[in-house]
Structure 1
Amino acid sequence: MEDNKKEEKEQIKKEKEQKKLEEKKSKLERKQKKIEEKIRRKNLLGEYLTYPSMAVNFIKADKKIKPEKYIFDKNKAQYILYFAPQLKENESPKKQVIVYLYGGGWREGNANLYRFVGRRFAKEKFHTILLGYRLSKKYKYPAQIEDVFAGFNKALEVLKNKNIDYSDIIVIGSSAGAHLGALLVYHKEMHKKYNIDSNIFKGYVSLGGPTDLNVCTNDIITPMLDQLFEEEYNREDANPYNHIDGSEKTKVLCVHSELDPICDADNSINFSNKVNSFHDGLAECIIFDNKNIYHNNLVNGIFFEAMDSEHILDKVFKWIEKLN
């Protein structure tokens, strides 16, 4: 009897000690979260301070290069823009075709607004396509990815009619556009539905993109995702990370800022690590820790030379050259 009482006391003591440890751990975790949140808020201020410079460069941007517009459905957002490479006499275009998807939290923007990106690629002698898509919160996912695939097929039709070889496509996405771009490259069921040969995707570039929705949990990106999806929608199918299965041969470049207050750099780290877990070296991940690089001035600002202090876009171009 006494032995049983002794055991009970020891068990109670252990449970109390365990409870204290758990409380201490919880307290430390809350403290760490507060520290992280304080840092993120500071980075968010830095993010906002990049906006005036972005606006000035947008206004000053060269608008001489005119794209061709092609409509693929009835909604005003359902169109693509084609930019011809800007060539001097006796020059040839780059063999890769760039397919670019703009960001804006899935709820803002349009292809016309991002013509400065198409012009930048055209100046580098690339055939370039910008894909338009419907926005949340009016249009819930999968409307966006359906438009991306339908627009992509329209792009292939346009390129074919122009006798342009599209067997070497590089998909590049900024922010939310990188999420949709990853699904364009990796969603095999959608490839079947839209009759797309995934072998044409030679490269994929994510610029500050939410490529692993599991780590998109802060109080800025969470409301964006809540607006994008219906409450009961299975988000697992919309997570690019989940569609990596090792069958892919597409080279990957993920570029992110450690100070990004909107989309955590773990997105790029996790995505590239999973790709490399199947094929070591297939993905490259560049994380910048420069004090002045946040989100907007990486995902959009690098297309303006005056804002690209780290020559990030040059690194992207050099990476594309190595794919030859």
Structure 2
Amino acid sequence: MEDNKKEEKEQIKKEKEQKKLEEKKSKLERKQKKIEEKIRRKNLLGEYLTYPSMAVNFIKADKKIKPEKYIFDKNKAQYILYFAPQLKENESPKKQVIVYLYGGGWREGNANLYRFVGRRFAKEKFHTILLGYRLSKKYKYPAQIEDVFAGFNKALEVLKNKNIDYSDIIVIGSSAGAHLGALLVYHKEMHKKYNIDSNIFKGYVSLGGPTDLNVCTNDIITPMLDQLFEEGYNREDANPYNHIDGSEKTKVLCVHSELDPICDADNSINFSNKVNSFHDGLAECIIFDNKNIYHNNLVNGIFFEAMDSEHILDKVFKWIEKLN
């Protein structure tokens, strides 16, 4: 009887100690979360401070290079822009074709707004395509990815009519555009639906992209995702990370800022690590810890030479050259 009481007391004591440990752990976790949130808020302020210089560079952007516009459906957003490479006498274009997808949280922007990106690639002698797509919240996912695939097929048609070899395509996306670009490269069921040979995707570049929706949980990107998807929609199929299965041969470059307050750098780390878990060295991940690089001045700012202090775009071009 006494032994039972003793055991009971010991058990109660253990439970109390365990409860104290759990409370202490919970307190530490809350404290850590507050610290992380404080850092993120500080980074968000830094992000906002980059906007004026972005606006100035946008206004000053070279507008001499005129793209060709091709419509692939009835909505005003459903078109592509083609930029011819800017060549001097006796120069040849780069063999790769760049397909670029712009960002804007899936809810802002259009291909026309990002002509400065197409011009930048054209100056580097690339045939370049900008893909347009419908935006949330009026058009819920999968409208965006359906447009990306339909627009891509239109792009292949345009390139074919111009006798341009499109067997060597590099898909580049900024922010939300990197998410859609990853699905363009990795979504096998959509490849079948749109009769696309995935072997033409020789490279994929994510610039600050949400390539693993599992880690997109902060209070800025969460409302964007909630606006993108219908309530109750199974988002697993929309997560690029889930479509990596080891069958891919596409080289990958993920570029991110450690200080990105909108889209956490874990997106790029997780995505590239999963690619490399199947084929070591197939993916490269560059994380910048420059205190002046946040989100917008990476995903968009690098296309303006005055804002690209880390020469990030040059690194992208050198990476593309190595694919030859």
The TM-score normalised by the length of structure 2 is: 0.99
Alpha-carbon separation, structure 1, partners of 2:196 and 2:6 = 71
Alignment coverage as a number of residue pairs: 324
Q: 1:12: how far off?
A: 1.3
Match of 1:280 in 2: 280
Query: CA-to-partner distance for each residue in 1:175-231, whole Å, 9 max, x for gaps?
Result: 000000000000001101111000000000000000000000000000000000011
Map 1:126-275; keep pairs closer than 5 Å.
Answer: 126-275=126-275
**What is the alpha-carbon distance in structure 2 between the residues aligned to residue 308 and residue 221 of structure 1?**
24
Deviation of the 1:61 alpha carbon: 0.6
- In 1, the alpha carbon distance for the partners of 2:217 and 2:78 equals 30
Question: Partners in 2 of 1:211 and 1:119 — Cα distance?
Answer: 26
CA distance in 1, matches of 2:49, 2:247: 42
Q: Deviations over 1:279-320 (max 9, x none)?
A: 000000000000100000000000000000100000000000
Residues 239-291 of structure 1 deviation map (CA, whole Å, 9 limit, x = unaligned)? 00000000000000000000000000000000000000000000000000001
Offset, 1:62: 0.5
Q: Which runs of no fewer than 5 residues in structure 2 stay unpaired? A: none
SS for the counterpart of 2:248 is coil
Deviations 1:43-65 (CA, angstroms, capped at 9, x unpaired): 00110010000000000010000
Q: Which 4+ runs in 1 deviate beyond 3 A?
A: none
SS in 1 for 2:66: coil
Aligned partner of residue 29 in structure 1, secondary structure: helix
Deviation at 1:16, TM superposition (A): 1.0
For 1:112-167, what per-residue CA distance to the aligned partner results, in whole angstroms no more than 9, with x for missing partners? Answer: 00000000000000000000000000000000000000000000000000000000
User: Which has the higher mean CA deviation after the structures are superposed, 2-11 or 76-85?
Assistant: 2-11
Write the distance in 2 (CA, Å) between the matches of 1:323 and 1:7: 69
Q: What SS does the corresponding residue of 1:271 show, helix, strand or coil?
A: helix
Task: Say which is worse superposed, 3-12 or 159-168, in terms of deviation.
Answer: 3-12
Counterparts of 1:28 and 1:192, CA distance in 2: 49
Alpha-carbon shift at residue 15 of structure 1 (Å): 1.1
In structure 2, the partner of 1:110 is: 110
- Distance across 2 between alignment mates of 1:197 and 1:6: 72
Distance 1:87 1:98 in 2: 16
Rounded Cα–Cα distance in structure 1 between residues aligned with 2:213 and 2:206? 14
Residues 67-120 of structure 1: CA deviation (Å, up to 9, x unaligned)? 000000000000000000000000000000000000000000000000000000
CA drift of 1:13 comes to 1.1
Which 5+ residue runs of structure 1 have no aligned equivalent? none
Distance 2:36 2:137 in 1: 29
How far has the Cα of 1:11 moved from its partner? 1.3
Question: Percent identity of the aligned residues?
Answer: 100
Shift of 1:235: 0.5
| Cα distance in structure 2, aligned partners of 1:274 and 1:296 | 26
Secondary structure of the equivalent of 2:171?
A: strand
Q: Structure 1 residue 14: deviation in Å?
A: 1.0
**1:95 aligns to what SS in structure 2?**
coil
1:7 to partner: Cα distance: 1.4
CA distance in 1, matches of 2:36, 2:50: 21
Q: Counterpart of 1:230 in 2: which secondary structure?
A: coil
C-alpha distance in 2, partners of 1:171/1:64? 24
What is the RMSD computed on CA atoms of the aligned residues? 0.5
SS in 1 for 2:107: coil
Match of 1:136, SS?
A: coil
Structure-1-length-normalised TM-score: 0.99
The whole-number CA distance in structure 1 between the counterparts of 2:5 and 2:321 is 75
Partners of 1:15 and 1:213 in 2: how far apart?
38
Which residue is equivalent to 1:55? Answer: 55
Output the CA distance in 2 between the equivalents of 1:14 and 1:72: 68
SS of equivalent residue, structure 2 residue 26: helix
